[in-house]
Amino acid sequence: MLLKDQAAIVTGGASGLGAATARKLAAQGAKVAVFDLNAKLAEEVAAEIKGTAVVCDVSDAASAEAGIVQAAKAHGPARVLVNCAGIGVAKRVIGREGPMALSDFDKVIKVNLIGSFNMLRLATAEMSKREPQATGERGVVVNTASVAAYDGQIGQAAYSASKGGIVAMTLPIARELAQFGIRVLTIAPGLFLTPLLANLPQEAQDSLAAAIPFPRRLGDASEFAALALHMVENPYLNGEVVRLDAALRMAPK
């Protein structure tokens, strides 16, 4: 995908992996719409990269539809979608107070899995109507899963299920959308120094890093963004899920 002057959407773009990706795409000449529920942070990132901030709940059909319309008015229909919006709830299926509330499981699935699909279905419908580039491409989608899709830990039932769903839908959707010249890919990151982990004590961060063979540290958001950019720019990558985890293999606790 040739990025210069093309419209792109990054969900969860106000912080962490999403913000780094928005910056990386903008640096390559893309016009980036930063989708997030946090209006203040989204506006700050958008101002920095000369993009557009869009307040959006990716799990809500009407909110996502309105967000895509708003982004298209600012930059034109998007050729690139990077789904980084996501949440995590660490809860056991059977805790001290009884079974996990179904609403906790439901919320994680709605934001992470349904939200990713919601944005994908709407964005690719618009991509399919666009004229193809010289490469034959009309668009690219990069989703964010997690190594938890493969190596989920105790307390990650909802999170692992949501990320496993993203992994599982990647190939069938890529095969379906190939007829339109739209590629679909997924990154499964390991332990990254996102705001969530950055708030942990240094001792806790060091403990997590000890599970990483090499390099023995938490990942940097810029490394995720670099892979997302490569996926967008490499026309022969399609239908793949790439683990970005420095060979992390966490034993169940």
DSSP 106-148: HHHIIIIIIHHHHHHHHHHHHHTTSPP-TTS--EEEEEE--TH
Q: Are 176 and 121 in contact (CB under 8 A)?
A: no
Tens of pLDDT, residue by residue over 133-149, are 998 999 999 999 999 99
pLDDT of 133 reads: 95
Is residue 215 reached through a cis peptide bond, with omega within 30 degrees of 0 on the bond before it? yes
159 is catalytic: yes
Residue 109 has pLDDT above 50, yes or no: yes
Domains of the chain: 7-242 (3.40.50.720)
- Which residue, 113, 123, 130, is CA-closest to 8? 123
Q: Are 232 and 142 in contact (CB under 8 A)?
A: yes
Question: Dmax over Cα atoms in the chain, in whole Å?
Answer: 59
Q: What is the pTM of this model?
A: 0.94
End-to-end Cα spacing for the chain: 42
Query: 251 falls in which pLDDT band (50, 70, 90)?
Result: low
User: Out of 35, 105, 117, 159, which one is annotated catalytic?
Assistant: 159
Q: Are 155 and 229 in contact (CB under 8 A)?
A: no
